[in-house]
Structure 1
Amino acid sequence: MSLPKAFDNDESYFKSAVEFLENYSWIYSEANTSCIKALDRMPKVFKDYFLSASNESLNTFPFVHVPLEDCPNELQDLRQQIAKMIPEAHTPTAPRKVPSKCSNQNRKIGRKKLHEIEQLAANIHEHCAKAETQLLVDLGSGLGYLSEALLQLNDNYLILGLEADEQRVISAQQRCEKLMPQKALNSISYRQEFVSADAQCRDRIEAHTSELAQSHGLSPELTTITMAIIGLHACADLSVSAMRLFLTMPQVRSLLIMPCCYHKLALREGIDDLVSSPFVNFPLSSALNKATANLAVCCFNRPFLRLACQETSSRWRKDSAAHAEHGHQMYWRALANAVSDDPDELVKVQPKSQQTTHDFNGLCLRYQLHSRLTAQLLSWRPSHETRFRQINERYSEGRGSHLAEALCCLQTSIQKLCENLLLYDRLCYLREAAAEQQLRVEVRYEQLFDEQVSPRCQVLIAKKL
């Protein structure tokens, strides 16, 4: 992710992006299970277009750099604004060759995860060879797949795997003992650790790495050891902690992580206004914070982050039947939520229900109503049926299903803008923080994976100069 070519500086880009998101916040500000509110706010010209658009136009719409002649001016303007604010697509780096032993060892892993493990491991290995890195700190190491793949590439690496889940630490150790050669058992150390960037966590990491280095005859003085922080699926705030550890640990010379799960970012405590961002670690950069300073209502919320980590437009194209079915399911799920309209009630899909919903009776059979307070099963009431009729009259004859899919089309159109804004904010923050500490760093994102296989395909790469 990077600064789009249409902009000269970070501030102007963030300002334009924030203004756009503020104007079109109705596209993403509600969860899709509550999308009736978004459909109510959708401009009439948008509704008229999507209700008559061909499946070919629907499939093409999110590819905003591709001309679409049948759009009204309002939608042409929307697409042009989006195209201006997202970086040009780049072909991912050519897949790297990996040892066949590595693939065979992980043959039970899904295609997506195996692709990510192999390609990220090969990328890390290339960078570490150039930097003469000796010790790797694998954040969120899970079951140890990335660490194992790296040792297949270079059995001289020392790797400290840090994982918050105790059971995964145990499983990683057992897996290593079962599958890896004896030398690897001494080269990998898995520890349970909830990683943060505070001084106490940093001290524990330094103690673990010093112990691992000393056990291999290296000096326990970490200033003599070149280290890298790595991470496959550095979820939510873990990516930010990794960036801060990179900045504050002198012996760490490189950072290679794959951010994901943005929607799990931690919330700030005591924030009850509509102006401030509710998240601890977003926005991070002074440039984006400046761009949002004068907003009447903050345009960043949980659905925004969820959209940023949804599938990209590369998987949008479908036949008309698939679009129709998805729109139908989304509309009726949201309609059930809207019919309830009680914060103390919770709508759930009936377990194993194959009921096709076309009327209120079908909705009652398809969806269950529960009390949020007691989890007790509740009955649908006549007042719900009245509300159902009021809402469904606005979206009768399949209009609701069509417009629900149109909303998904609009969300897909801005997905890359949302993700680029979030990831570029982190890149700007890393540069700003490094400058404050008088560190010279080189930082960029590299599209390492095929979007068709792995939607989260951006790897943050930083090195100290």
Structure 2
Amino acid sequence: MSLPQYFENPEEYFDESLKFFQEYDYLFSNPNTDLLVHNILDRITIKDEDIDVFNKDFDLSSTDDQFLSEFFNKLKKLQVFYDDIGDNSLENNINVPVSPKKKHEILFLAKEVKEACERVGCDVVVDFGSGLGYLDQLLFETTNYKILGIECNESHYVGAKIRQRKYHSSSTEHVKYIKHTVTENSHENIEEFLNDKFKNHREFCITGLHACADLTIDAINLFLKMSHAKTMVIMPCCYHKMVEYGGVFKNFPLSDCLKGLFSKFKGGEFMRVPFLRLAAQPPSVDDKLEDLVFNLLSRAVLQKFAFKHNCKLKRKKRKAVKTKNMENNFEVYIEDATTNGFTLIKNEPSNDDDKVDNPKFCLEELMTS
């Protein structure tokens, strides 16, 4: 692994990282919506109350405040800095209706797959979680490799085949799609798919764009089981969705070096779902910071109310509160949230006196929280 200059080996790096995570575990060991429930803001001891964090030119890491400066100095020591990857020669070969971020990922993953296949002589690429086939079609058009796209989602599988017939008809003999849920025991299925679709194939490469949750681990295990799998290029995603049992993840940590330190620092007490969600967060935001803070704190007020009354919040719809034209008006937020967005579900009562059939929001209490 690439290490910052301060460390000579992975064990030193893991040790320092776990010390850092343990020291600041209160910042991430619970969901962000619970920050008022656990009084997280009271533990962030920023003395300069005149800091204007909403100023577009404000740099949080450059402040003289002791708490912030210590935090960022420790963080900087742990950060790995990568060289600029430069321009992509495939850029003119992609025209798909996705965000610039997704297009960037497709372009550069395709480039890595192409180079990996050239090194070991693969003539087939097996794409785990192929989605609508954007990566597969780009790979075929730029390499002429045979592609086997494996997708578990029915609508994505059907969508990929429709797109292929409509936009990439020349690829139908070389890019094949299979509906299948990949598990660590799928090696025989994959061999059958390959022999059926590409009878004279040689070695193959395993790839995956946004290999969600445990799919990356399954891919590694399958790679080790299949003799014709010669290289693998995977972009993992959504670590927080990994299989867990009582807060302990089935496949984390994998490293023998990290396992010992993980036990030493009792990492299982704080490196849970909220911690792993950090890996899926963008380093910067395009939205106004004021709006994001307002939305988070408003939602946190609802969470605190539910916690106080031994309830949990349940969304009535995917986008519980439409904040776009709300102008950060808390009263409007609460009205919309309690009327259209959320409902209260009573937790198991501790005694008969605590039993309430239909818990209700109290607007007056919410407004004065």
TM-score range, shorter chain: 0.7 to 0.9
Residue 146 of structure 1 and its aligned partner are, at CA, apart by 0.8
Does the 8 A contact of 1:27 with 1:38 survive in 2?
no
Match of 2:86 among 77, 85, 94: 94
For residues 397-451 of structure 1, what are the alpha-carbon distances to aligned partners after superposition, in whole Å with 9 as ceiling and x for unaligned?
xxxxxxxxxxxxxxxxxxxxxxxxxxxxxxxxxxxxxxxxxxxxxxxxxxxxxxx
Match of 1:371, SS state, is strand
Q: Distance in 1 between matches of 2:56 and 2:179?
A: 51
Q: Which runs of 5+ in 2 are unaligned?
A: 348-356
Does the 8 A contact of 1:339 with 1:388 survive in 2?
no
Q: Which runs of 5+ in 1 are unaligned?
A: 63-67, 220-224, 272-276, 393-465
Paired positions, count: 350
TM-score after normalising by structure 2: 0.84
Q: Distance in 2 between matches of 1:329 and 1:355?
A: 10
Label 1:111 to 1:20 Cα distance change in 2 as closer, same or farther (>3 A). closer
Label 1:241 to 1:59 Cα distance change in 2 as closer, same or farther (>3 A). farther
Which residue number corresponds to residue 77 of structure 2? 84
For residues 112-167 of structure 1, what are the alpha-carbon distances to aligned partners after superposition, in whole Å with 9 as ceiling and x for unaligned?
32232223212321222232211111110111111110111122x11111111123
Residue 60 of structure 1 and its aligned partner are, at CA, apart by 2.0
The one-letter code sitting in structure 2 at the alignment partner of 1:209 is L
Which residue number corresponds to residue 24 of structure 2? 24
Does the 8 A contact of 1:26 with 1:42 survive in 2?
no
Report 1:293-372 matches (<5 A).
293-296=263-266, 298-312=269-283, 315=284, 322-341=288-307, 342-346=309-313, 348=315, 351-352=321-322, 362=332, 364-368=334-338, 369-372=342-345
Does the 8 A contact of 1:364 with 1:380 survive in 2?
no
Label 1:357 to 1:91 Cα distance change in 2 as closer, same or farther (>3 A). same
TM-score after normalising by structure 1: 0.68
The one-letter code sitting in structure 2 at the alignment partner of 1:30 is N
Which residue number corresponds to residue 202 of structure 1? 187
Larger relative CO (CA 8 A, sep 6+): 1 or 2?
1
Which residue number corresponds to residue 94 of structure 2? 103
Aligned-pair identity (%) = 26
Q: Distance in 2 between matches of 1:30 and 1:41?
A: 13
Match of 2:214 among 231, 234, 237: 237
The one-letter code sitting in structure 2 at the alignment partner of 1:242 is A
Residue 378 of structure 1 and its aligned partner are, at CA, apart by 5.5
Does the 8 A contact of 2:291 with 2:328 survive in 1?
no
Which residue number corresponds to residue 421 of structure 1? none
Residue 292 of structure 1 and its aligned partner are, at CA, apart by 1.6
Match of 1:36, SS state, is coil
Q: Distance in 2 between matches of 1:22 and 1:203?
A: 43
Q: Distance in 2 between matches of 1:190 and 1:98?
A: 23
Which residue number corresponds to residue 13 of structure 1? 13
The one-letter code sitting in structure 2 at the alignment partner of 1:256 is V
Q: Distance in 1 between matches of 2:313 and 2:56?
A: 36
Q: Distance in 1 between matches of 2:52 and 2:334?
A: 33
CA RMSD of aligned residues (A): 3.0
Residue 190 of structure 1 and its aligned partner are, at CA, apart by 0.9
The one-letter code sitting in structure 1 at the alignment partner of 2:360 is S
Match of 1:260 among 219, 223, 237: 237
